[in-house]
Amino acid sequence: MSKISYHRAQETFTPSVMMAHTLDFIVFGVPRSGTKALVRALNLHPHVYCALERFHFRADHSHIRFPDSFLDASDARDEQALDKIKRIKKDLAKKEEIAHAGNKLPRYYFALHRINREVPALKNIWIYRSPYGFMQSWNRRELASQRGQWPAGQVGLFGLLELFCCIENCLGLGKDVLVFPYEYGLNRSARPTLQALGFLGADPGLYARKQFKKRQLPKRQDGSHRLALKDYEEEILDALKVKELDAILHQERSLRVSEVAAPLRDYLRRIAAILPSAIDRAFAACDNPAVPSYGQDYVRRNLAELDGVLKLARDSKTLSGFQRFGPYQRLKSLYVQRWALKRRLASIRLLGPA
């Protein structure tokens, strides 16, 4: 990192009434659940600022200070990281006073307990989107990824596993988590956003509601952009009674986990016996050749973070197989990822420009 790059990222930023303080809140949810859209909505409040993935969940959050850590380019590894810091600087320059500073990272649930120990006063916002929505989005990204941003084999079934990890960690946190409803909060009403702001301690009366309605609420789509779920995906969602889970979490308002803790725990108890076999059937029916090697690499990288769901489905032969990851499996995983990337690029060349 050159000194020139560092100063270029820092220059001309002059906060007006911003006192250094610890991180106030985090925003998370299974990837493809609308975390970015929720951040845009929260940032319409004059005293709230949430950064987009400025800090990784593996970082020690007790060392994060606002605004200093947000603008510190000394740990930036490339131009993309520097550009992110410049965007933060530009965003902060538009606000006079930030009383509530946060960071969004979809997979914060992987380290929820540790991060809340590091910052005891931290407030947690979890955006819930039904697996019927995010699974097809994962699949679409897996098919469309051209340069490895979305690994080959990272299909919606893995997102479903992460959802159970998220639920377990939120239930066991020992403090309240706000659940923000994806569909109602991002597509229909400002009410859940105002409730989230109240949860943070920001005055909802200062919120730019007109801007929210103009910029945030989308025009209704006909659903043609969605990738239909396959039969085995529909089957696992039906077997696990996910519509019952949706009824618990996807309400017309933001709610606290404490309000629905009892039905959530009851739901997990009821699916525990069928979860391993449901997982095995779904992965066995999946015809994506990159899934097995991706699954082994995925579990290896996140073994500690996935401990809860691995225990919940400990009788699953598929998940047991993913945990066996030796030198041969590593080489195979690397080969499959490269093969899948070449296949994607070749298909794009054949199709030509849109």
Give the residue with greater pLDDT, 256 vs 226.
Answer: 256
> Does the pLDDT of residue 147 top 70, yes or no?
no
- What is the C-alpha separation between 184 and 205, in angstroms, rounded? 20
Q: What pLDDT does 96 receive?
A: 82
Inform me whether the pLDDT recorded for 48 exceeds 90: yes
CATH fold of 3-273: Rossmann fold (3.40.50)
Answer positive or negative: Cα dihedral of 261, 264, 270, 271.
negative
pLDDT digits (tens, 9 = 90+) for 160-206: 999 999 999 999 999 999 999 999 999 999 999 999 999 999 999 99
The beta-carbon contacts of 265-269 under 8 Å, at least 24 apart in sequence, are 265/171, 267/241, 268/164, 268/167, 268/168, 268/312
Res. 348 pLDDT band, cuts 50 70 90: very low
pTM of the model: 0.87
Pair of tokens at residue 21: 């303080």
Which residue type, as a one-letter code, is found at position 46? P
The pLDDT confidence band at residue 64, using thresholds 50, 70 and 90, is: very high
* Least confident segment among 120-124, 258-262, 301-305, 343-347: 343-347
80: pLDDT confidence band, cut at 50, 70 and 90?
Answer: confident
In percent, how much of the chain has pLDDT > 70?
82
Note the pLDDT of residue 129: 98
Q: What tokens does 339 get?
A: 């093969």
pLDDT above 90: residue 144:
no
Average of pLDDT values for 66-82? 86
Pick the closest to residue 188 from 206, 222, 212, 211 (CA basis). 212
Q: Cα–Cα distance between 170 and 57 in angstroms, integer?
A: 15
7: pLDDT strictly greater than 90 = no
Cα dihedral value 228, 232, 237, 241, nearest 10? 140
Distance, CA of 55 to CA of 62 (rounded, Å): 12
H or E segment to which residue 2 belongs: none
Amino acid at 243: K
CB-count exposure of residue 191 (10 Å: 0-12, 13-18, 19+): middle
**What is the secondary structure of 25-62 as a DSSP string?**
EEEE-SSSSSHHHHHHHHTTSTTEEEEES-S-TTS-GG
Instruction: Say yes or no to pLDDT of 88 above 50.
Output: yes
Average pLDDT, the chain: 87
Residue of 133, 130, 320, 151 whose CA lies nearest to 243: 130
- Contact present, 271 and 123 (Cβ < 8 Å): no
Question: 210-235: per-residue pLDDT in tens?
Answer: 999 988 776 555 455 678 999 999 99
Q: Which residue has the tokens 């020690």?
A: 60
Q: Higher confidence at residue 339 or residue 57?
A: 57
Q: Which tokens sit at 60?
A: 């020690």
pLDDT interval class at 16 (50, 70, 90):
very low
Check pLDDT > 60 for residue 351.
no
